[in-house]
Amino acid sequence: MSQYYNANRKKNLYDPNSSEIYRLSRTKIDLYINCPRCFYLDRKLGVAQPPGYPFSLNSAVDKLLKKEFDIHRAKGTKHPLMEHYKVDAVPLVHEKIDEWRDSLRRGITVPIDSTNVVVTGGVDDVWVNPQGEFHIVDYKATSKEEEVTLDADWQIGYKRQMEIYQWLFRKNEFKVSTTGYFVYCNGNTDKEAFDGKLEFHIKIIPYAGDDSWVGKTILDAIACLKGDSLPESGGDCDFCKYRKAVKEYER
């Protein structure tokens, strides 16, 4: 991965004096929440955290799920999983659905008043119920022996992700249900042999989101970028801990 990592990025840096549109993604908002210092270093100074390796299997699951739900989108029918979990909705048919799912180049966007910042996010899917409400849908993949849930402390990031998407759609004047859904795929490891196949147990988990925190957090993140000095580190940032430990030996 090192050949792709630029430790001194010169592009896509926040400039408070610029009139050019600055895209602030959902993932970078989450970075600000986790560690304002790493967020500032990344978005304003061009020093990002070293990237992790891509989760290629997760990406493959996402792609295949989208294809599968698109079949039912075209037919206007429920996916069998939606029938099984009694989800009263169908995959949304909308001219912008592919745009909203393109997180890298497009996504759904909201401009922030009196700034040059546009908040962006790319959803996995949107379902619509008989009342015309949108349900935001996110795909997740893992492999573990126990039942998948949303109960782990680290999964607060998943919940914030859902709530930011709900906020983005509401700001675009869509009627959005409080209930979002996680389509959670858990790889089975209890088979007698691999046989070139990885099978998943797929579960739909509803989540009641609360996006009341999103607007203020975005404004706080922008205020952070407008500052002239490095903010404090997040309370439990491994990257900041590493830099501090290394610095002790480099002096």
pLDDT digit string, tens, across residues 21-38: 999 999 999 999 999 999
Q: Using CA atoms, how far apart are residues 246 and 249, in angstroms rounded to an integer?
A: 5
Residues 128, 117 contacting (CB under 8 angstroms) = no
> pLDDT: is 150 or 94 the higher one?
94
Q: Which CATH number characterizes residue 126's domain?
A: 3.90.320
Please indicate, yes or no, if residue 51 is contained in any of the structural domains: yes
Q: 122 lies in which domain range?
A: 19-246
Of all residues in the chain, what percent carry a pLDDT higher than 70?
Answer: 94
Please indicate, yes or no, if residue 10 is contained in any of the structural domains: no
Q: What share of the chain is helix, strand, coil (3-state, %, to 5)?
A: 35, 20, 45
Please indicate, yes or no, if residue 8 is contained in any of the structural domains: no
pLDDT at 141: 85
Indicate the number of domains in the chain.
Answer: 1
Please indicate, yes or no, if residue 219 is contained in any of the structural domains: yes
Please indicate, yes or no, if residue 125 is contained in any of the structural domains: yes
Please indicate, yes or no, if residue 2 is contained in any of the structural domains: no
Please indicate, yes or no, if residue 9 is contained in any of the structural domains: no
Please indicate, yes or no, if residue 214 is contained in any of the structural domains: yes
pLDDT digit string, tens, across residues 42-93: 999 999 888 776 666 778 888 888 999 999 999 999 999 999 999 999 999 9
pLDDT digit string, tens, across residues 171-196: 999 999 999 999 988 877 776 666 66
3-state SS string for 124-186: CEEEECCCCCEEEEEEEEECCCCCCCCCCHHHHHHHHHHHHHHHHHHHCCCCECCEEEEEEEE
